[in-house]
Amino acid sequence: MNIPASLIALALIASGAAAGGRPQSVVMRDGPPPVVLSGDARIDFTALHEFPALFQESASDALEGQRKSAWLAGGLSLVIPGAGEFYAGSYLKSASFLAVEAALWIFAYKYDQKGNRQTDFFQDYANAHWSVVNYATYALNNYAPGGAGNYPGLFIPGTQGAKPWLQVNWAVLNKMESDIAQTAAGMYYSHNLPAYNTQQYYELIGKYPQFNQGWDDVQGKSFTYGDQLSAELLWYSGQRGQANTYYTTASTFVALALVNHIVSAVDAALTAGSYNRGLHASVGSQAVPSYGGLVAVPVLRLTWGM
């Protein structure tokens, strides 16, 4: 009596479940030829008492070709988030990781550009309202040891009317600042003014009381440590702080993008493992004894588990 292959598969599944185990594979054959005694005891005994090997090497190779490498999946997503998930067949997660990656870099770029614009703004403001000539003049007249006679060449001859940073000899200015810092009256002269148009130049003039007298809203006023700082200095300091906030936010998005790479890589490796544990089908051949020898018949293999 011929038994349909599907009934054989169901019977194998039921027997595995009744035994308390998890079946790893089910093989369905399409009409194998009947077993005929050949007279060879070895072949006949195998045919009657031993269920043939479920799947031959060629079929095993076919199944192996369906497996996904967890290492490859993780490596792909480490480079491009979502690529490993795509390779492992999880297309929705692939799109999600890629979308998050794009959004993070867009926001990082957006805030970096906001920081650049804010930096241009506060630097332009400083160039218009803080003068190294005013700062050096006040220091020379009020704090310089020995007065102007000890610092010849502080102001460059013939530069009147030029931009303030072009009128001052920076080497002489820095020497005067160092000398003032050694006096009791110059207790708050803690820094030498960095070169013009550097990051530290714009930071220091809006951070330390030493540079207060360079702002144009305090010209003609005296200043000692502890006095109210220039309103322009305070406002400028807030604007510079806003630029730093934008840059910090941009850096945060970059850091989150790097985290997204790592999370996607781990998820892709797990997704590949999950794929390999899922149900798969393979078509191959099975050798069965018949007519005094072995004959190959087509089989469908359903496999789940590692």
In terms of phi and psi (left: phi > 0; alpha: psi -120 to 50; beta: otherwise), the region of 21 is beta
Range of the domain at 16: 1-31
* 40 to 47, 62, 286: CA distances (angstroms): 11, 33, 21
Same structural domain, 147 and 188: yes
What is residue 88's predicted lDDT score, i.e. its pLDDT?
Answer: 92
Does residue 13 lie in a domain region?
yes
Residue 119 to residue 166: CA distance in whole angstroms: 22
Does residue 306 lie in a domain region?
no
Residue 285 to residue 29: CA distance in whole angstroms: 9
Residue 43 to residue 294: CA distance in whole angstroms: 9
Same structural domain, 146 and 232: yes
Beta strands 293-303 and 280-290: pairing type? antiparallel
What is residue 251's predicted lDDT score, i.e. its pLDDT?
Answer: 98
Same structural domain, 1 and 38: no
What is residue 285's predicted lDDT score, i.e. its pLDDT?
Answer: 63
Same structural domain, 220 and 285: no
Same structural domain, 157 and 228: yes
Predicted TM-score of the model (pTM): 0.67
User: Which two three-digit tokens encode residue 245?
Assistant: 């906030």
| One pLDDT digit (tens) per residue for the chain, 306 residues | 444 544 444 444 444 444 444 444 444 444 555 555 555 544 444 444 444 444 444 444 444 557 899 999 999 999 999 999 999 999 999 999 999 999 999 999 999 999 999 999 999 999 999 999 999 999 999 999 988 889 999 999 999 889 999 999 999 999 999 999 999 888 889 999 999 999 999 999 999 999 999 999 999 899 888 889 999 999 999 999 999 999 999 999 999 999 999 999 999 999 999 888 875 555 566 666 665 566 666 665 655 544
Same structural domain, 59 and 143: no
The total number of structural domains that make up the chain: 3
What is residue 229's predicted lDDT score, i.e. its pLDDT?
Answer: 94
Same structural domain, 3 and 39: no
